[in-house]
Structure 1
């Protein structure tokens, strides 16, 4: 397995896609039920292969990631050969970016000495998908890039 197995909830949400995946291998419901009972190791392999296919699709389309913690916001732009980052750090320990008030505080204080902004750029040390998946495992979530683009636009002007 290249990534990680989808959760039960994720499999349930992707039930139709999984059914189609099995059908491409000429496995219908009756055959799948038989495989689960008689050959659980084969069923496990099928679940793993499907999970990897889903992750590949997600990672292929991943262009922006965000990771919020109490005092930090990490914004990533995942390009083909490199990843760019913007890290925002609140120097006021009372600020909590996990709450709406923290984001409002950031908006009001972005260019004050209570916010550190760090820009980064790094070539992928490993394959692109593996690097993005590692960020997701650490808590980053897929994003439409709106916040990254807004902050980057403000910084660049």
Structure 2
């Protein structure tokens, strides 16, 4: 397995897509039930293959990742050959990026002296989608890129 198996909730949300996937494998509903009961290892393989297909599709379309913690903000732009990271550190212990009021204050006062900005880029050491997946597994969230785009304009 390339990534990780989708959760039960994710499979439920993708029920129609999974049914179509099984159809492409020439497995109908009755055969699927039989596989689950009599050959669970093969059923697990099918779940793994489907999970990898879904992850590859999602990750291929992912251009931005955000990871926000109390005093640190990491935003990434995922290009085809490299990833660009903007890191913002809040040095004011009374401010917290996870609190809506404090985050909005940051957005209105990005040049306040309590914020330190860093920017770096690196070529992928592994396959692009695998590196993006690892960022997500470490708590990153796929985003629309608005925060990255506004920060890049601020620091460039």
Q: By how many angstroms is 1:112 displaced?
A: 2.2
Q: Structure 2 matches for 1:32-43, cutoff 5 A? A: 32-43=32-43
Is the 1:109–1:115 Cα contact (8 Å) retained in structure 2? no
Q: What is the alpha-carbon distance in structure 2 between the residues aligned to residue 113 and residue 98 of structure 1?
A: 19
Unaligned runs of 5+ in 1: none
Is the 2:71–2:89 Cα contact (8 Å) retained in structure 1? yes
What is the match of residue 15 of structure 1? 15
* Runs of 4+ in structure 1 over 2 Å off: none
Is the 2:71–2:95 Cα contact (8 Å) retained in structure 1? yes
Q: TM-score normalized by structure 2? A: 0.97
What is the match of residue 139 of structure 1? 139
Q: What is the alpha-carbon distance in structure 1 between the residues aligned to residue 89 and residue 109 of structure 2?
A: 11
Unaligned runs of 5+ in 2: none
Q: What is the alpha-carbon distance in structure 1 between the residues aligned to residue 46 and residue 95 of structure 2?
A: 46
What is the match of residue 150 of structure 2? 150
Q: Structure 2 matches for 1:57-68, cutoff 5 A? A: 57-68=57-68
Q: Structure 2 matches for 1:1-157, cutoff 5 A? A: 1-156=1-156
Q: 3-state DSSP class of the match of 1:117? A: strand
Q: TM-score normalized by structure 1? A: 0.96
* Residues matched between the structures, number: 156
Is the 2:117–2:155 Cα contact (8 Å) retained in structure 1? no
Q: By how many angstroms is 1:104 displaced?
A: 1.7
